[in-house]
Amino acid sequence: MGFQIESQISSCGGKLLKLQHESETTGTSMNVNIYLPQQYYKEDGAKIPALYYLSGLSCTPQNASEKAFWQPQADKFGFAVVFPDTSPRGADVPDDPENGWDFGLSAGFYVDATQSPYDKNYKMFSYVHDELPNKLDQFFKSTGSESGSTLDFLDNVAITGHSMGGFGAISGYLKQYASPRKYKSCSAFAPIANPSLVPWGKKAFGNYLGLESAQWEKYDPANLVKNISNKGNDVILIHQGTNDPFYKEQLKPHLLIEAAKGTSWEGKINLNLVDGFDHSYYFISSFVPQHAEFHAKNLGLI
Amino acid sequence: MGFQIESQISSCGGKLLKLQHESETTGTSMNVNIYLPQQYYKEDGAKIPALYYLSGLSCTPQNASEKAFWQPQADKFGFAVVFPDTSPRGADVPDDPENGWDFGLSAGFYVDATQSPYDKNYKMFSYVHDELPNKLDQFFKSTGSESGSTLDFLDNVAITGHSMGGFGAISGYLKQYASPRKYKSCSAFAPIANPSLVPWGKKAFGNYLGLESAQWEKYDPANLVKNISNKGNDVILIHQGTNDPFYKEQLKPHLLIEAAKGTSWEGKINLNLVDGFDHSYYFISSFVPQHAEFHAKNLGLI
């Protein structure tokens, strides 16, 4: 029921753990990376919150672990970072019959599929927001730490992500916003802000969720902001590069700003258009320090 | 004669330029990446030194550009970073007949080959230390910058590298140490410290340079320290992870410390064994901040 530690890699002041475990939710073996910051090893009795980072299309847990460079920020503020996979994998997991890279393997879209043949394995919403955090909590409670530090995967937690994962972060945050609030903080890098209206989202939602618009609305941030009340001053931080080739056709962050108008989220979606940046990890890593500080504040670390 | 700018990517406060050019030295088209820090774009009349980063076996200019994370350090101190390729490439460039990944393509070892068939293209010493810096100097002088800032690729320059590139950095530094000194500063991450005595070095030197030991000694740092006098207080900074799988068989930094004993370099090779670190970019990126500060001091930036 626990995790197998495939490798444990020294990185900055802490360690990156590459874990594997059997998921009942997806019915497959799943990979996940976790960065444990220096405070976990070096501070007596530190209480360390977790930031979940949801990756974009075509990624595994490795890409962001290697290129987003959360590690020094995690060390600076004292949070762990969880890098889940982007879909179930394995010989029995159905993929896009046309082999599109934007659907199926590496493209689970962080929803619970209801449509055959995807409904058996593609339960990424439940996996990321429920099974994974609970199992991490159990596992690290059972192993303990030499310093007496503890990791919090369930309560004092934040979420962020890139592109498909930026959508997954905002969607997961808003869907679970009601008290007790699941995530204390949410941000996104170049998210697919209104998936129901763009090619990537239509393909994924159509195949995973079927054609009823009500099913799509349950996940679409541009709909969720209309139905979930901001409790006060919660802000969603977003960065979007102006040279991102997907900005205008697939990501459309302005549609989320539009949707929030007249709702309790108006003015609370802090969209930063950054001149000249693209959709790559060069973009993500450039703004990770700002997102890290944002989450650190919301997690009570500063 | 000039460079073609393949792409220009916003990264941190500056830009990563992916360049291509025709090299007379290697007789091929060569790729090189350059990170220009924020000072180049934003400070009036800044004088910006260059740090050359030589990559290890199997790398192209992309790996370190994406994973070593020099960019924020370059922005902090105000130096440019040059990421040359690790070998000539192209259909006509001879490769290892056994397809070994540790010789031939991506494994030029930063020497000038004298043996057929490699002597036609594998002139990486002359390329990296002579043709490339001179062409970069000409190119950026001819293009100029809006801010009036200037880049120095020839005089106030430093060199570093990883593994094969760590060897290349120390070898290039020592071989050109005499007045006027080519590089003001040298460091290395897990360098192949005494290539003449280890499998990677023997294979490369044997094929590129032939079997005469005198030819190998011209490049081997463990020999060079015996024949080149330290002018005073110049220090070579080295980090080596203790969990590096190549540490004991291929890298052997202690042999360089041994070789320096009784020479003017004794005590001037600052070898830091770092517990638990491996040979990957997780290791490199963890110590890039320390190397950046070391070079920034030697380049007069702090």
- Mark out chain A residues that contact chain B at CB-CB < 8 A: 9-13, 15-16, 66-67, 69, 71-72, 241, 243, 274-278, 280-283, 285-286, 289
Could you tell me which of B227, B218, B228 has the C-alpha nearest to residue B195?
B218
Rounded Cα distance between A147 and B263, Å, is: 44
CA distance to A25, A88, A123, B3, B177, per residue, from A21 (Å): 11, 12, 15, 49, 54
Residue-range domains of chain A with CATH? 4-298 (3.40.50.1820)
**Cα B231 from Cα B180, distance rounded (Å):** 12
Percent of chain B with pLDDT over 90: 92
| pLDDT score for B179 | 72
Q: How far is CA A286 from the centre of its chain?
A: 18
Nearest-by-CA chain B residue for A66: B67
Radius of gyration of chain B (CA): 18
Position B245 pLDDT exceeds 80? yes
As beta bridge partners, residue A160 has A53
- Two tokens at B149? 């800032």
The answer to whether residues B179 and B189 touch, using CB atoms and an 8 Å cutoff, is no
> What are the chain A neighbours of B10 within 8 Å (beta carbons)?
241, 243, 274-278, 282-283, 286
Yes or no: say if A171 and A220 are a contact pair by the CB < 8 Å rule.
Answer: yes
Q: Answer whether B278's CB lies under 8 Å from B190's CB.
A: no
For A229, counting Cβ atoms within 10 Å of its Cβ (0-12 exposed, 13-18 middle, 19+ buried), the class is exposed
Q: Which residue of B has its CA nearest to A241?
A: B10
Q: Could you read off the pLDDT of B220-238 as tens digits, one per residue?
A: 999 999 999 998 899 999 9
Q: Which pairing describes strands B29-36 and B14-22: parallel, antiparallel, or unpaired?
A: antiparallel
Pick from A77, A63, A56: which is nearest to A16 by CA?
Answer: A63
What pLDDT sits at residue A178? 85
Collect all residues of chain B within an 8 Å Cβ-Cβ radius of residue A11. Answer: 282-283, 285-286
Q: Which helix (H) or strand (E) holds A121?
A: none
**Looking at the DSSP assignment, which residues form a beta bridge with residue A241?**
A274
Whether B163 is a known active-site residue: answer yes
- Taking residues B43-48, what's their average pLDDT? 92
Q: Is A182 left (phi over 0), alpha (psi -120 to 50) or beta?
A: alpha
For residue B244, indicate whether it is catalytic.
Answer: yes
- The active-site residue out of B23, B239, B244, B295 is B244
Q: What is the pLDDT of residues A180-230, one digit of tens each?
A: 789 999 999 999 999 999 999 999 999 999 999 999 999 999 999 999 999
Task: Please tell me the least confidently modeled range out of B53-57, B96-100, B118-122.
Answer: B96-100
Task: List chain A residues with pLDDT less than 70.
Answer: 1
Tokens read off for B294: 């070391």
Instruction: State the pLDDT at residue A1.
Output: 58
Which residues in chain A have Cβ-Cβ distances shorter than 8 Å to B35? none
Report the C-alpha gap between A32 and A21 in whole angstroms. 8
Pairing of strands A47-54, A150-161: parallel
CB proximity list for A238: less than 8 A, separation 6 or greater: A166, A187, A188, A189, A191, A193, A253, A256, A269, A270, A271, A272
Strands (E) across chain B are located at 4-11, 14-22, 29-36, 47-54, 80-84, 150-161, 185-189, 236-241, 269-274
Q: What is the pLDDT of residues B197-219, one digit of tens each?
A: 999 999 999 999 999 999 999 99
Three-state DSSP state, B283: helix
Among A277, A281, A289, whose Cβ lies nearest the Cβ of B10?
A: A277
Strand partners, B104: B107
pLDDT of residue B195: 98
- Could you tell me which of B36, B277, B10, B299 has the C-alpha nearest to residue B160? B299
Cβ neighbour number for residue A29 with a 10 Å cutoff: 13
Q: For B68, which residue in chain A has the nearest alpha carbon?
A: A67
Chain B positions touching A275 (Cβ under 8 A) are: 10
Give the nearest partner residue to B286 out of A12, A278, A281, using CB atoms: A12
Preceding omega of B253 cis (within 30 degrees of 0): no
How many Å lie between the alpha carbon of A6 and the closest alpha carbon of chain B?
A: 15
Mean pLDDT of chain B: 96
